[in-house]
Amino acid sequence: MKKGTKAREGVVQGRAISRGVAEGEAMVSKDAISFFGGVDPKTGIIIDKGHALEGKCISGKVLIFPRGKGSTVGSYVLLQLAKNNRAPVAIINEEAEPIIAVGAIIARIPMVDKLERNAYSRIKGGMRISVDGTSGTAGIKE
């Protein structure tokens, strides 16, 4: 990475899934997430036994995970989290599937997927990440 172009180079194109803009600290899960039964809608804590993020609170984070899984009711759980102010501020998936995509849209959580230049795997927990779900980009500050 050349000096002076760092901020610009940190912006990566992906696909726009759910519109809106947000920024926050990355929380990265290597496992897929089932929101129905896997996340407590009141607290935002992952309750899935044996999950990589078990016991961690996803509220206010930019949540980075490969994809959704489990019941389609998971879409509604994302909405409940948002209503309780316990939702992640943005979502980046490796590759979106309908449960998380629909959930993010109805909960108004900005979401992108399929980031170019292998950016998904470069994101580490604690990095500042911005997501623009309208243009389909993510800003990564390493």
Partner 1 sequence: MQLTKEQQLMLNGESGEAARQSMEILCALGKIYGAKDMVPITSAQVAGVSYKTIGEAGLEYLQDFARAGARVRIPTFLNPAGMDREQWEKLRVPAAFAKKQLAILSAFSKMGISSTCTCTPYLVGIRPKLGEHIAWSESSAISFANSVLGARTNREGGPSALAAAVCGCTPNYGLHLDENRVANLLVQVETPLKGMSDFGALGAYVGEASKGKVPAFLGVKSASEDKLKSLGASMAAWGSTAIYFMKGITPEWKVEDGAEEIKFGAKELAQMREKMAGEGKPDIIAIGCPHASLDEIREVAEKVKGKKLGCQLWVCTARKTKEAADKAGFTVAIEAAGGNVVADTCMVVCPLEEMGITHAACNSGKAAKYLTNMFKRKVVYGDVEDIILCK
Q: Counting contacts by CB under 8 A, is residue 17 touching partner 1? A: yes
Closest CB to partner 1 among residues 12, 101: 101
Q: List beta partners, residue 33.
A: 68
**How far apart (Å, rounded) are the C-alpha atoms in residues 108 and 114?**
19
- DSSP secondary structure letters along 87-130: S-SEEEESS--HHHHHHHHHHT--EEE--STTHHHH--TT-EEE
Q: How far is CA 141 from the centre of its chain?
A: 16
Q: Which of 28, 46, 53, 96 forms a contact with partner 1 (CB under 8 A)? A: 96
Within positions 21 to 60, which residues make up the interface with partner 1, using CB under 8 A?
Answer: 41
Q: Which of 71, 75, 121, 135 is catalytic?
A: 71
Length of the chain: 142
Clarify whether 71 is annotated catalytic: yes
> What is the rounded distance in angstroms from the CA atom of residue 100 to the CA atom of residue 102?
6
65 binds partner 1, rule: CB under 8 A: no
- Single out the residue of 28, 99, 123, 129 in contact with partner 1 (rule: CB under 8 A): 99
140 scored as a contact of partner 1 (CB under 8 A): no
Residues binding partner 1 (CB under 8 A)? 15, 17-19, 41, 72-73, 75-77, 79-80, 83, 96-99, 101-102, 105-106
